[in-house]
A and B are shown apart, each in its own frame.
Chain A
Amino acid sequence: MMPPVLEFKDVSVSVKVGEAEVALLRKVSFEVGKGRILGLAGESGAGKSMIGRVISGLLPDNLRFSGGEVRFQGQTLTGRLARSFLGRRIAFIPQEPLSALNPVYTIRQQMYEHMKHQGLPRAQWESYCIERLLEVGLPDPADLLGRYPHQLSGGQCQRVLIAMAFSGDPELIVADEPTTALDVVTQAQIVRLLRGVQRKHGTAVILITHDLRLAAHVCDEVAVLYAGDVVERGPARSVLDAPSHPYSWSLKMATPSLEGEQYVLPTLAELMPGLKDMVSLVGCRFARRCPTRNAECESRLPRLEPVAEGHYVSCGGQCRTAAGSRKTEPHVLPAPKNALGRPLLELRDVSMTYHGQGRRRGQVFHALRPMSLSIAPGELVGVVGESGSGKSTLARLIVGLLEPTGGSVHVEGVARRGASGIQAAQMRETVQMVFQDPDSALNPRRTVEALVTQALEIRRDIPLAERGRIAQRLMGQVGMALDALGRFPSQLSGGQKQRVNIARALCVTPRLLVADEIVSGLDVSVQALIMNLLLELNRELGIAVVFISHDLSVIRYLCQRVLVMRHGEVVEQGETESVFGNPQHPYTRLLIGSVPPDDADAVWPAPDGSEEGIVSSEQVLECQS
């Protein structure tokens, strides 16, 4: 039998924290055979990227390779050897396609540099580049070679990078979250492409991803990582169908599904352990958050044990057999209540048009074409679309950060334009926004207390002592501990920041929250927490939510009604279940087809051309660039 292309045998990587030595990877073992795809799934902090670093021989200086062996094509892979293989026998596909390409060089210059590294004769460079770019489905490669990265879309950049990775006919490719920065439709295309080229060349691929469902559909085998441990490993389908480790189970269940019955997303207490916590974690690192731990879990290191053919689980508890079939309570969205009353917010033929200036004088750009929308109190409305579809423009129009160029916005029956000072202040309190990026949305120089009560600074009628009480109430509403009040945003985790972000908007007791992509940068388990929080706020305070996202499954979990947007236009709208269950517009169908399904046996992504019928991939590419 041929040896696997890459084999990890009990690999440990450790770092010194003070006196103690902490293993960032603990006896990680896996192997990838020729022509196989291995998925490494896990959230941030799980050690996925560390494995990439080990393979590339580029460990940071403060880390130490502290045990085990990496074998590449049967020979022991040292750091020096690995570095000499880079680009030739081992290639990488990076996460951020736009930042991985140097903006000051053309694609040709960057690909030529790569050819030079391969040692190809100069005369063949041009024809070889064109051949490779055609292979990754880029039309008109000769023209593309002369362009700069910023002139390409994210999907095109990723295709160029895939072409470069495969150009040396490497034996192993490590793709680190290659689709995370891309839209769903592009993601499906890139995944299909990656698998197509990989099959053609028989390359072994390691796909690092946070999306268990994506991994299960693309990969042959999946390893689930948690805090440096492989907690579960096995054939992709069996890991998705029957996740046996409680962590894999919660990872799977934390992503809402797009079809069938919905279940309440399970949430885990606390956070993934960081370096400091790992010092004291000798046993199972998941134990503290595990709902089914037993007395021994924290002290005894579990070993990978087989549960089925080729399927191993590292869990000392009794939970492992039960986990796969366990379900949470069914999740049913409340029916919209007083939908007949006066709408909370009304957009009447609102549009947003920009006119080009300078050289672009005369050009007109429609960020949002005329549309109407009315939102009842307590309603949950979703807006879905890819980047550039006008979602964020809509959000800014609703909250009043932008003035529409056409039509009018009415809050509780009063037109925003021409409202008196008192009315405008009331409107601001009625409609609040939660911003997308918690790092940018929270002023790093304010404490949490000052942040959440920021709105009170301009209110003279509320004494200072009251502010502390209000801050405490807000922290309770978003489920945060009171000791966080004195902290600065940089001392909070991503999920905590997003809660502070929400708490700030709640301070003025709004009746409508506009949430613009507020879960897209978060890990799935944190995403589940934030979504459940929004539902709770809706249930208890009756706050209406406009939830903007590119993720259809998130919209389905949260929203009663959905608007599908494309190119600044609403192409389809209606009740979420009927739109997603029976999509009418081809674009909606395309979006839904791009989401990896729950059913591990379903073929995804669908072979090129079958589901796209009307909207070809070229057209989609075109509309992105």
Chain B
Amino acid sequence: MTTTTMKYAGARSGLARLCSHPKVVIGGVMVLIFLLVALLAPWLAPNDPNAQDLLATLLPPAWSEGGLAQYPLGTDALGRCVLSRLIFGSRIALLVAVVAATGTMLLGTVLAILAGYLRGWFDRSISFIVMLWMAFPPVVFSMMLMVGLGTGVSNVILAVILVDWTRFYRVVRAEVLVARQREYVHAARLLGFSHLRIMLREVLPGVAPIVITLFSLEMGVAIVVEAILSFVGLSVPSNVVAWGVMLADGRDQIYQAGWNLMAPVVGIVFAVLAFNLLSDGLRVVLDPRLRKRGSE
């Protein structure tokens, strides 16, 4: 009832509004930590992640019996420092997360806006392709792609993009279908705006919140996919440090040296949780439909 006048109070700055949600703050701080670790890896890591100390293989963490202070989280079967590998592994994870998520976002969103706005045969054909695309089991699909493309970080990214762009397409297209029926889109047409301009200036800003939210969710997904592909040995060459590679290496000594497996798991959980928290918080903060207009 009294919302009309309450709305005048709602002129807060964007950043303050973003920080109003605890999930955004917690997720944001975790993402920031992840970023810093990845960027500062050479200075943070105590050892060279690929240096082998064959006299000190499968050492336990420093705090348990038999551990060495030189290797805070112990060593793996080849005598490499687990902590250093964990820290350096975050770089690949970050690279894949950012680039793959950007790629899926661009591909999915562009097609979604075109299809949702133009409708007709373009929409029908793209939507059919997406339906077909999504029928493939994603893990098998990405493994098939990796076999075809060969290993390497850029191919992992390509595989993630090719598998996951449909997620963006589906969600964003649904939003575009709603936005294009808005009267302000009709109004823009009456003012003589071209279709391209309407898509960019009227439709895109309306779907931007959902795109940002999906983007941060997709970063978490990309990290998991990269880990899975590394685990099955279809991701990066063995001289590149990645969490999935660590998982695969640690699997053989799971009974003797469980920490070898635990370290990358913690890394993956931390990173994915960070992005998911951030995305969940952003969804609430950025979605105008969920925004409360002051109290009753």
Contacts and interface: CB of A to CB of B under 8 A. Distances in A.
B202 A275 contact: no
A152 interface: no
Interface in A271-313: 271-277
B6 interface: yes
Nearest to A493: B4
B6 A60 contact: no
Task: Give the size category of B's interface with A.
Answer: 20 to 34
Nearest to A48: B1
A374 B3 CA distance: 42
Given A63-B296, A443-B206, A455-B191, A50 B1 contact: yes
Contacts, number: 107
Contact of A45 (B5, B7, B184, B295): B5
Contacts of B202: 443
Contacts of A390: none
A73 to B, nearest CB: 28
Contacts of B295: 15, 60, 62, 275
Interface stretch (B56-64, B192-200, B223-231): B192-200
Interface stretch (B8-16, B104-112, B141-149): B8-16
B296 A60 contact: yes
Contact of B187 (A277, A435, A444, A494): A435
A62 B296 contact: yes
Contact of A455 (B1, B2, B192): B192
Contact of B4 (A45, A47, A48, A49): A45
Nearest to B203: A443
A445 B186 contact: no
B212 to A, nearest CB: 13
Contact of B193 (A60, A274, A277, A458): A458
A457 B202 CA distance: 13
Contacts of B7: 490-493
Nearest to A510: B190
Interface in A447-506: 454-455, 457-458, 487, 490-494, 504-505
A440 B184 contact: yes
Q: Is the interface of B mostly helix, strand, loop or mixed?
A: helix
A44 B296 CA distance: 12
Nearest to A22: B2
Contacts of A428: 190-192
Nearest to B179: A443
B178 to A, nearest CB: 10
A50 B295 CA distance: 13
B291 to A, nearest CB: 9
B183 A437 contact: yes
Interface in B1-33: 1-2, 4-11
B184 A400 contact: no
Contact of B206 (A48, A277, A445, A505): A445
A445 B9 CA distance: 17
Interface in B210-238: none
B182 interface: yes
Contacts of B293: 490
A491 B5 CA distance: 8
A24 B1 CA distance: 10
A46 B2 CA distance: 8
Nearest to B291: A490
B190 A433 contact: yes
B1 A47 contact: yes
A491 B8 CA distance: 5
A504 B190 CA distance: 11
A271 B33 CA distance: 49
Given A15-B296, A508-B191, A443 B184 contact: yes
A458 B5 contact: no
Contacts of B183: 435-437, 440-441
B10 A491 contact: yes
B2 A445 contact: no
A437 B182 CA distance: 10
Interface string B158-191: 0000000000000000000000001110111111
Contact of A490 (B1, B2, B10): B10
Interface of A: 15, 24, 44-50, 60, 62-63, 271-277, 399-401, 425, 428, 432-433, 435-437, 440-445, 454-455, 457-458, 487, 490-494, 504-505, 507-508
Interface of B: 1-2, 4-11, 182-184, 186-194, 197, 201-202, 205-206, 288, 293-296
7 nearest CB pairs, A to B: A274-B5, A441-B183, A435-B183, A455-B191, A445-B205, A443-B184, A440-B183
Given A60-B296, A401-B186, A490-B293, 14 more contacts: A44-B1, A45-B2, A271-B4, A272-B4, A275-B5, A425-B192, A435-B184, A436-B183, A440-B182, A440-B183, A441-B183, A441-B187, A454-B187, A455-B191
21 contacts: A45-B4, A60-B295, A62-B296, A271-B5, A273-B5, A274-B8, A275-B6, A433-B186, A433-B187, A435-B184, A440-B183, A441-B187, A443-B202, A457-B197, A458-B192, A490-B293, A493-B4, A494-B4, A504-B187, A505-B187, A508-B191
